[in-house]
């Protein structure tokens, strides 16, 4: 049985690592540029996408310059958050965690509260219009001052239970250790709130070790270089610490040399809690469906593997245990029903 695009779209899915600015639709960017009276570049789609000859994470991050510059008003942030959830719902993502760095959207007068509230409003509206649940993750930047990350951490505690589900740390990994931001992590964990850290993407397993053991991360963004430290890998596996894998992005940022060199199949085989995510729908020019199809094509994943990745995604969500159990029960039944309806044999294998 061939697993095609239609099959993947029909299955309920998550996206736990999805940046707001990296998902700005080209058509929306065009509207914003026109509103501002700016010239619309001829190749706007290409301009928003990472260059294929992109060399590293730092160059990848340059692709966010235009979206950040355009997203400086409450109305735009609300619209873009809504559209991101709308795009996710269109490919049957049932639970979406959107992340963004609020401080980058305060450059033309918006306060942190206005920025956060605008994005929450957009996501809430999408939840009303579509069959999707969402959570918002506030991202601090490795290269900014630790004091700023602590201010953001306080915002996470203020908006906790009002749509914000975690604090994240992103940005250039090399030369900007996560432990510089310990105070912020403490603020969040001290209030029993979730923490995820981008690590092991542009730097070795020491960065993942630091994120987990010094900073107390509950999930790791990427973690592709975890395979270089077997003991740490076993710890991550034993403690069921989820890894948010983003295949296209990992190749584009040169976190791995090629898809074939990606550790995902090995991680899945070892039982690590790995899920598939977009990272950036526009910048990486991908969708969750594309990421599944890529995994099937490159690693010859079976429907059983697909099911495992989907379930891992729901298990890794920053949701309460009760809510997660409820969603997992629904999703498990739905997957069985979908597989049965499509005459897919995976049900017998479970
Ligand atoms: Zn990311």
Cα 218 to ligand 1 centroid, rounded to whole Å: 15
State the Cα–Cα distance between residues 94 and 91, nearest whole angstrom: 9
State the Cα–Cα distance between residues 279 and 196, nearest whole angstrom: 14
Cα 221 to ligand 1 centroid, rounded to whole Å: 7
**Is residue 46 among the annotated active site residues?**
no
User: How many other CB atoms are there within 10 angstroms of residue 325's CB atom?
Assistant: 12
Let me know: does 67 contact 22? Beta carbons within 8 Å: yes
- What are 146-192's pLDDT values in tens digits? 999 999 999 999 999 899 999 999 988 788 888 899 999 999 999 99
Q: What is the pLDDT at residue 349?
A: 42
Cα 198 to ligand 1 centroid, rounded to whole Å: 6
pTM of structure: 0.95
Task: Name which of 224, 227, 300 is nearest 256 in CA terms.
Answer: 224
Residue range 5-345 in CATH 3.20.20.140:
yes
Catalytic residue of the set 97, 117, 201, 291? 201
Cα 250 to ligand 1 centroid, rounded to whole Å: 10
State the Cα–Cα distance between residues 86 and 23, nearest whole angstrom: 11
- What are 78-95's pLDDT values in tens digits? 999 999 999 999 999 999
Lowest mean pLDDT among 23-27, 31-35, 55-59, 164-168: 55-59
Using a CB cutoff of 5 Å, list residues around ligand 1, an ion: 279
- What are 46-78's pLDDT values in tens digits? 888 876 665 677 777 778 889 999 999 999 999
Cα 271 to ligand 1 centroid, rounded to whole Å: 23
The ranges assigned to domains in the chain are 5-345
Residue 348 has pLDDT above 50, yes or no: no
- 205-226: average pLDDT: 96
State the Cα–Cα distance between residues 340 and 259, nearest whole angstrom: 31
Cα 251 to ligand 1 centroid, rounded to whole Å: 13
7-36: b (≥16 Cβ within 10 Å) or e:
bbbbbbbbbbbbbbbbbbbeebbeebbeee
Average model confidence (pLDDT) across the chain: 93
């Amino acid at each position: 049985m061939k697993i095609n695009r239609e099959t993947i779209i029909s299955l309920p899915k998550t996206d736990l690592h999805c940046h707001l600015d990296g998902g700005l639709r080209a058509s929306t960017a065009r509207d914003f540029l026109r509103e501002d009276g700016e010239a619309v570049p001829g190749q706007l789609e290409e301009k928003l996408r990472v260059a294929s000859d992109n060399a590293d994470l730092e160059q990848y991050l340059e692709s966010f310059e235009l979206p950040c510059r355009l997203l400086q008003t409450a109305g735009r942030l609300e619209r873009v958050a809504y559209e991101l959830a709308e795009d996710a719902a269109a490919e049957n993502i049932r639970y979406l965690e959107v992340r963004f760095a609020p401080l980058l959207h305060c450059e033309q007068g918006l306060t942190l509260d206005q920025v956060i509230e605008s994005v929450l409003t957009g996501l809430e509206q999408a939840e009303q219009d579509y069959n999707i649940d969402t959570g918002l993750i506030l991202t601090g930047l490795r290269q900014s001052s630790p004091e700023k990350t602590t201010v953001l951490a306080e915002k996470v505690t203020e908006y906790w239970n009002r749509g914000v589900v975690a604090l994240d740390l992103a940005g250039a990994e090399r030369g900007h250790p996560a432990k510089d931001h310990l105070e912020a992590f403490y603020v969040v964990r001290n209030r029993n709130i979730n923490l995820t850290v981008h690590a092991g993407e542009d730097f070795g397993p020491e960065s993942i070790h630091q994120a987990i053991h010094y900073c107390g991360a509950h999930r790791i963004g990427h973690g592709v270089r975890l395979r270089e430290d077997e003991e740490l890998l076993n710890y991550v596996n034993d403690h069921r610490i989820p890894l948010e894998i983003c295949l296209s992005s990992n190749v584009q940022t040169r976190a791995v040399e090629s898809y074939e060199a990606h550790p995902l199949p090995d991680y899945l085989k070892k039982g690590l809690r790995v899920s598939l995510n977009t990272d950036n729908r526009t910048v990486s020019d991908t969708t969750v469906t594309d990421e599944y199809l890529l995994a099937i094509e490159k690693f010859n994943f079976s429907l059983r593997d697909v099911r495992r990745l989907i379930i891992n995604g729901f298990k890794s969500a920053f949701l309460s245990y009760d809510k997660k159990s409820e969603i997992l029960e629904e999703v498990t039944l739905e997957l069985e029903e979908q597989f049965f309806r499509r005459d897919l044999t995976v049900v017998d294998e479970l």
